């Protein structure tokens, strides 16, 4: 029988079938961060231990300060970081803590270290865990109770989701990035389009992407409602992984490679749902509202609620425009921004920083603009090619690795009413700070907004 890649990976992790057809799945990789501390605490209270500390990796990302030198926070924020460090050391789990160059956003360091591999089942108490699907891993976010369950048993009860393949044909035009592709996908299927589904991204556009670009696409699967999203491993994947610190080597590498080439979906397999997009038709895209599905090409105008027939949708657009402080019908390129954030697990890898630097080079930021690398190693690599200098000379602020203003748990938030051009993944009300207004876009588009002070079609600046 023809199988999807998802089916193949699922099947190799089935430990047992339990009541009601639920499946007990084995977990190969468990990533942890400060938010996992509550699960550790409950585990300790019930007198249980971590079953496989060797399959866990922890990093401090959400609560760490990203100002130069990662200064020590205080109060409750410090407690979050200390608590992770106490629990991981008590349980014998490797932690990339403050001061470790390998520390970074959990979804950046997994692939970077070669911890994430094709065919593995990887979980993390974070909804953007689908990012690891870029390497052909079945990766999904879980809640705190599920984190505790995995810590204690290395397994998870799951009901099998349906499958959906999203094929992006053709070729991207110059100035169009992976972020534009995923924003276009979400605008097409909607923020609930992927609920209950495991996504696979395919087609010429995805095949031509680097691992960093595939990570951007897979990352926002949850913004389309899906817990997981992945790309079949190929030569790009293998070349990326070879030689990474935690990737297999020698004879085991050859065995792994043989296995990984058997993972892609069989040619004649049937998915529960198929979606196709034309890559040539995708333009640089920005969001205007408070759901990631509220995305339009930069050349478009802010929608007019009066033109929307369905009452529920009309009210929600009205509410979004009220929150965002936008006038129906205004050109998106007339929207003036107050600050720029380049970072997050969506767009903080070396390739992202290069794309932003290419726009910043020789220009000048006219609003505060932060560049927050995804990991200490990304930061080092960027500095080795002089990107930090490009950003600094253009008036951007070059910061330390972490989640930072993507969510502001560390206190690095935008102020109420401030409008942020951001490369992160969520434009929810209050996401980047109470009352803050977020427009999502690619790194090049964010850099363009920084140097013009408004949402700008990057194709007008470079090209």
Partner 1 sequence: MQAFTRLTGVAAPIDLANVDTDRVIPARFLRKPQGSAGYERYLFHDVRFAADDSERPEFVLNQAAYRGATILVAAENFGCGSSREAAVWALMAYGVRCVIAPSLGDIFHQNCLKNGLLPVILAVDVVADLRGQLHARPGATLTADLQTQTVTAPDGAAHRFEIEAFARQMLLTGQDEIALTLGYEPQIRDFETRHAAAMPWLLLR
By CB under 6 A, the residues from 53 to 112 that bind ligand SF4 are 61-62, 105-107
Residue 33 CB, shortest distance to ligand SF4, in Å, is 7
The minimum distance between CB 48 and ligand SF4, in angstroms, equals: 26
Q: At its nearest, how many Å lie between ligand SF4 and the CB of residue 278?
A: 29
55's CB contacts (< 8 A; 6+ apart) are 27, 28, 29, 30, 154
350 within 8 A of 213, measured Cβ to Cβ: no
Stretch that binds partner 1, among 162-170, 219-227, 332-340, 449-457 (CB under 8 A): 219-227
Count other Cβ atoms within 10 Å, centred on residue 461: 17
Residues in region 4-33 near ligand SF4 by CB under 6 A: none
Which residues, 374 to 403, sit near ligand SF4 by CB under 6 A?
Answer: 403
Q: Comparing C-alpha atoms, which of 387, 357, 358, 111 is closest to residue 245? A: 111
- Binders in 151-170 for partner 1, by CB under 8 A: 152-155, 157, 159, 161
CB of 205 to partner 1, least distance (A): 26
Tokens of 174: 């110059």
Shortest Å, Cβ 383 to ligand SF4: 21
Residues near 311 by beta carbon (within 8 Å), at least 6 away in sequence? none
Which entry of partner 1, ligand SF4, none binds 222, CB below 5 to 8 A by partner kind?
partner 1
Cβ proximity to ligand SF4: between 126 and 180 the closer is 126
Shortest distance in whole angstroms from residue 284 CB to ligand SF4: 22
Measured CA to CA, the distance from residue 244 to residue 111 in angstroms comes to 9
Cα 77 from Cα 255, distance rounded (Å)? 44
Give the integer Cα–Cα distance in Å for 350 and 137. 21
Residues numbered 118-137 forming contacts with ligand SF4, rule: CB under 6 A: 126, 128
* 192 makes contact with partner 1 (CB under 8 A): yes
Nearest distance from C-beta of residue 141 to partner 1, angstroms: 4
Q: Report 325-384 residues binding partner 1 (CB under 8 A).
A: none
Binds 345, which of partner 1, ligand SF4, none (CB < 5 to 8 A, cut-off by type)? ligand SF4
Q: Does the CA dihedral 325-184-440-390 come out positive or negative?
A: negative
Stretch that binds partner 1, among 149-157, 168-176, 229-237, 339-347 (CB under 8 A): 149-157
The partner in contact with residue 157, picked from partner 1, ligand SF4, none with C-beta cut-offs of 5 to 8 angstroms by kind, is: partner 1
Binding segment toward partner 1, per CB under 8 A, in 64-72, 145-153, 361-369, 370-378: 145-153
- Count the Cβ atoms, other than its own, within 10 Å of residue 443: 30
Contact with partner 1 (CB under 8 A) among 64, 93, 96, 126 = 126
Smallest distance from partner 1 to CB 344, Å: 13
Six-digit token string for 363: 């220009």
Which residues, 85 to 104, sit near partner 1 by CB under 8 A?
A: none
Q: β-pairing, 197-202 with 162-169?
A: parallel
Binder to partner 1 among 49, 171, 255, 276 (CB under 8 A)? 255
By the 8 A CB rule, do 116 and 110 touch? yes
Of 406, 421, 441, 455, which lies in the binding site for ligand SF4, with binding defined by CB under 6 A? Answer: 406
Tokens representing residue 324 in the block: 């965002």
Q: Which residues of 164-192 are buried (b: 16+ CB within 10 A; e: fewer)?
A: bbbbbeeebeebbbbbbbbbbbbbebebe
Nearer CB in complex with partner 1: 18/325? 18
Residue 127 DSSP label: G
**Partner whose footprint covers residue 256, from ligand SF4, partner 1, none (CB < 5 to 8 Å by kind):** partner 1
> What residue 149 binds from partner 1, ligand SF4, none (CB within 5 to 8 A, per partner kind)?
partner 1
Enumerate residues 266-305 that contact ligand SF4 by CB under 6 A.
none
Report residue 346 as tokens: 């969506």
CB of 57 to partner 1, least distance (A): 8
**117 token code pair:** 């591999």
Query: At a CB cut-off of 8 Å and minimum separation 6, what does 156 contact?
Result: 24, 25, 27, 123, 142, 146, 149, 150
Q: Which residues of 313-337 are buried (b: 16+ CB within 10 A; e: fewer)?
A: eeebbeebbebbebeeeeebbebeb
Candidates 176, 189, 409, 447: give the one binding partner 1 (CB under 8 A).
409
Residue that is written with structure tokens 């276009």 in the block: 184
Contact letters for ligand SF4, residues 325-364 (x by CB under 6 A)? -------------------xx-------------------
- The answer to whether 192 touches 225, Cβ cutoff 8 Å, is yes
Across-strand partners of 422? 341, 440
Token duo for residue 1 = 């029988």
* Residue 459: other Cβ atoms inside 10 A: 18
Sites of contact with ligand SF4 (CB under 6 A): 61-62, 105-107, 126, 128, 344-345, 403, 406-407, 424-425
């Amino acid at each position: 029988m023809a199988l999807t890649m998802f089916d193949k990976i699922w099947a190799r992790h089935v430990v047992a079938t339990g009541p009601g057809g639920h499946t007990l799945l084995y977990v190969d990789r468990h990533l942890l961060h400060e938010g996992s501390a509550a699960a550790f605490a409950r585990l300790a209270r019930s007198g249980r231990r971590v079953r496989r500390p060797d399959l866990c990796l922890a990093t401090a990302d959400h609560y760490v300060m990203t100002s130069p030198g990662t200064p020590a926070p205080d109060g409750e924020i410090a407690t979050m970081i200390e608590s992770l460090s106490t629990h991981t050391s008590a349980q014998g789990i490797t932690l990339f803590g403050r001061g470790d160059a390998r520390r970074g956003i959990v979804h950046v360091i997994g692939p970077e270290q070669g911890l994430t591999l094709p065919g593995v089942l990887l979980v993390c108490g974070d909804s953007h865990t689908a990012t690891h699907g870029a390497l052909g891993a079945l990766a999904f976010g879980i809640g705190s109770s599920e984190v505790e369950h995995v810590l204690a048993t290395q397994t998870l009860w799951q009901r099998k989701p349906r499958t959906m393949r999203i094929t992006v044909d053709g070729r991207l035009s110059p100035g169009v990035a992976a972020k534009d592709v995923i924003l276009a996908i979400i605008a097409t299927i909607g923020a609930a389009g992927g609920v209950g589904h495991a996504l696979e991204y395919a087609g010429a556009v995805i095949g031509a992407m680097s691992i960093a670009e595939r990570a951007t696409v897979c990352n926002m699967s949850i913004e389309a409602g899906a817990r997981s999203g992945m790309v079949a491993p190929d030569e790009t994947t293998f070349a990326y992984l070879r030689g990474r610190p935690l990737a297999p080597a020698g004879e085991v590498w050859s065995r792994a490679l043989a296995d990984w080439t058997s993972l892609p979906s069989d040619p004649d397999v049937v998915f529960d749902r198929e979606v196709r997009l034309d890559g040539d038709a995708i333009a640089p895209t920005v969001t205007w509202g408070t759901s990631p599905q509220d995305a339009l090409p930069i050349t478009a105008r802010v929608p007019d609620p009066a033109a929307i027939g369905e009452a529920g949708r009309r009210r929600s657009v009205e509410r979004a425009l009220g929150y965002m402080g936008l006038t129906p019908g205004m050109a998106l390129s007339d929207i003036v921004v107050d600050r720029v954030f380049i970072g997050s697990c969506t767009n903080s890898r070396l390739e992202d920083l290069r794309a932003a630097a290419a726009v910043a080079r020789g220009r000048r930021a006219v609003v505060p603009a932060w560049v927050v690398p995804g990991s200490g190693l990304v930061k080092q690599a960027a500095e080795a090619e002089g990107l930090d200098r490009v950003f600094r000379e253009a008036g951007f602020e070059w910061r330390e690795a972490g989640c930072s203003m993507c969510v502001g748990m560390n206190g690095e938030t935008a102020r109420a009413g401030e409008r942020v051009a951001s490369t992160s993944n969520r434009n929810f009300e209050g996401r980047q700070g109470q009352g803050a207004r977020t427009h999502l876009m690619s790194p090049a588009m964010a850099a363009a907004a920084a140097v013009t002070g408004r949402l700008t079609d990057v194709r007008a600046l470079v090209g």
